[in-house]
Homo-oligomer: A and B are copies of this chain.
């Protein structure tokens, strides 16, 4: 796995710390590093093929984002999302993403709606092909796109971060809930296209309630390392 990441990094020209941060995030979200797992600076530096400095800077940001926990003088461990915090996350998402849906409905241009519909089509197709990874990816893109259309950068960046965490929890539980979700997405995009803010909020709320229920069900079994 060290080599995978090293290759992925080599091709780009961004500051190493950003590449490391991105790689670290995805490694955690994808479950390559499991909750509770210890992340020593040396090990990460070796995994990513860089020196310790960029690793340290990436770790601080990852801590601020809630992906790792840093214990002073003891180092970093991958954070452990507990089922308590899942409910909390969804409570916040409910407020934020319903707002995003409303704003999107109020501000979406024809081009915006077309882009959403395109994602919807691709999603339907990928679902038929049983390509779950692609479905999950399109799912993310749709949500992120709606946030972007809302035109509120604060909302967008906060909800995005929250969304990443939700994804993380889902991945760990290996739940996909793919077919169910798309019908709700269509409702949501329809509502956004209509320009009716209230309706868009309701659609987003329905979607989130379903997702929340799925997440909890998913979390029942427990996940991650018992560290």
Contact = CB atoms under 8 A, between A and B. Distances in A.
Contacts of A153: 85, 88
A61 B155 CA distance: 19
B61 A92 contact: no
A18 to B, nearest CB: 8
Contacts of A85: 153-154
A50 to B, nearest CB: 14
A92 B57 contact: no
Interface string A132-176: 000000000000000000001111001000100000000000000
B17 A88 contact: no
A64 B63 CA distance: 11
Interface residues of A, number: 29
A20 to B, nearest CB: 11
A99 interface: yes
Given A61-B64, A64-B64, A92 B154 contact: yes
Contacts of A14: 72
Contacts of A119: none
Contact of A155 (B56, B57, B88): B88
A22 to B, nearest CB: 13
A91 interface: yes
A60 interface: yes
A5 interface: no
Chain B CB within 10 Å, residue with most, of A65, A89, A158: A158
B57 A88 contact: no
Contacts of A72: 14-15
Contacts of A88: 152-155
